[in-house]
């Protein structure tokens, strides 16, 4: 797996992640699983070797299972996640039915306006202060 998806680039801080940092890391993990599934499927599509194709597609399916695991964990740890997913699903359902999506700013979870978005830089700065 590419190092670009590792939020610590091989260096784990001396402290544990906060729940907010964990959620960000899990979202990176989710994206990495999506990328892996795409890559393995593309490799399967690019070969005529039936054994390789079969193995690659099986591994791609395993990555999709991992995506489900990460998404469920994110939903458990993030109070507003299910509301965002439901809103997105409803918007697509409306478009598929030929209606205009009804999502408005007021319909979004109130937690969105109040949450602080932390970055990897924040984590590094915190680690420097702690040393």
Q: Is the predicted pLDDT of residue 74 greater than 60, yes or no? A: yes
| Averaged pLDDT for residues 109-122 | 63
Q: Is the predicted pLDDT of residue 112 greater than 70, yes or no? A: no
List all residues 6 or more positions away from 112 whose beta carbon is below 8 Å from its beta carbon.
80
pLDDT above 90 covers a percentage of the chain that reads: 62
User: pLDDT, tens digit, for every residue of 20-32?
Assistant: 999 999 999 999 9
pTM to 2 decimal places: 0.67
Instruction: Provide the residue count of the chain.
Output: 131
* DSSP codes, 31-94: HHHHHHHHHHHHHHHT---HHHHHHHHHHHHHHHHHHHHHHHHHHHH-TTHHHHHHHHHHHHHH
Helix (H, G, I), strand (E, B) or coil at 109: coil
| Averaged pLDDT for residues 67-89 | 96
Q: Is the predicted pLDDT of residue 131 greater than 70, yes or no? A: no
Tokens representing 78?
């993030």
Please report which confidence band the pLDDT of residue 2 belongs to, taking 50, 70 and 90 as the band edges.
low
Question: How many other C-beta atoms are found inside a 10 Å radius of the C-beta of residue 72?
Answer: 11
Please report which confidence band the pLDDT of residue 110 belongs to, taking 50, 70 and 90 as the band edges.
low
Q: Quick check: 59 and 41 in contact, CB under 8 A?
A: no
Helix (H, G, I), strand (E, B) or coil at 116: coil
Domain boundaries, the chain: 17-130
| Averaged pLDDT for residues 55-81 | 97
| Averaged pLDDT for residues 77-104 | 91
Q: Quick check: 18 and 118 in contact, CB under 8 A?
A: yes
| Averaged pLDDT for residues 81-85 | 94
Question: How many other C-beta atoms are found inside a 10 Å radius of the C-beta of residue 3?
Answer: 8
């Amino acid at each position: 797996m590419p190092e670009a998806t590792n939020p610590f680039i091989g260096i784990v801080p001396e402290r544990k992640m906060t729940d907010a940092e964990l959620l960000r890391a899990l979202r990176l993990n989710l994206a990495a699983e999506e990328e892996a599934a795409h890559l393995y499927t593309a490799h399967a599509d690019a070969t005529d070797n039936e054994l390789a194709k079969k193995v690659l597609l099986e591994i791609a399916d395993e990555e999709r299972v991992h995506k489900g695991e990460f998404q469920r964990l994110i939903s458990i740890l993030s109070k507003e996640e299910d509301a965002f997913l439901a809103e997105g699903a409803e918007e697509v359902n409306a478009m598929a039915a030929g209606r205009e999506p009804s999502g408005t700013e007021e319909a979004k979870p109130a937690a969105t306006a109040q949450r602080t978005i932390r970055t990897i830089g924040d984590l590094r700065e915190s680690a420097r202060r702690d040393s």
